[in-house]
Chains A and B, each alone.
Chain A
Amino acid sequence: MAKLDLLKGTLPLLVLSVIADEELYGYEIAQRIRDRSGDLFAPSEGSLYPTLHRLEGAGALSARWRASERGPRRRYYAITPAGQTLLADASEEWARVSAGVNRVARATNGA
């Protein structure tokens, strides 16, 4: 499976991260990202759903409909083994990138 290009956007990594522990539906995923980032990231839902469908098409997520206690049924997404691998790779790449960015930024600030 191709690695995520984190320079183009971190949304797939954020989605895989929040979904890694439990099944969530679209609105919940957006809320969870917002909450975990301390309101730093508030992904546009216009980008979220295409990302979810792209990850599902790539085999990183599976989806199923579940009835809700109130309101309409919802489409829940769960991470697949391929998604776990992708998440691990993406997290590692992100760590390298962010460390590199931090080093460059610190060197710039210290100059």
Chain B
Amino acid sequence: MTADGGTNGFLFDRVVVDDVSRHFGRRRAVSRVTFHASRGQILGLLGPNGAGKSTLLALLATLLRPTSGTIRFGTRDASTADDALRSHIGVLGHDLFLYPELTARENLAFFGALYGARDANAAARQALDRAGLADRGDDVVSSFSRGMRQRVALERALIHQPRLLLLDEPFTGLDDASTAVLLARLRGLREEGAIVILATHDLDLADGLLDEAIFLRDGRMIHTAARPEALRSTYRAVMTGRPAPSGVEGR
């Protein structure tokens, strides 16, 4: 990978979602959503339950195809998603994608090998160090607290050093210490030039973290704000249709 985000023959410097809709039968989970995120940006998808946040993440993860519209990853179109493209996307879902019967080390080594790490065991060792769980690496994941599992899951999502990290409710069930570690890790990823897109309800935790917030309701994008401050009051204003607080740049 090059410093400008170039990877394996294509430039992965931004994600562009252009007029994307996704229907499940007659239900419109996502309707005509447009936004983009560039390298070194953290973008938040905010909205109530059923707003379409998880569906959007699934579309970005190439697990779903848009009913209409296009998603582009740098110079690549999502409709041509292949192993090369998927190798640059990391996902931390609401479910943690970990095998509870395996140890943290085994989980990380398995996913490292699956994502093509040359030395999966070394990658797992480094990931455990980053998660601060080197001394618990040989314990099965089912014996971990939610916060510890979340830290392992985040390292699992990052083990292949993705250009795009997708996070669905990453703060759920975390104590203050684990939350602080996660926030620091996300800021670190931004500095390293990754694109981070997260869907969350935890507005207080996301406050000051996001470079751009996309407000969704009923699958539609109803507002965007660059570098939003006072996220909770902005959210309330946007969702109730009142004017956003002063200082919030909306579109």
The answer to whether A and B assemble together is: no
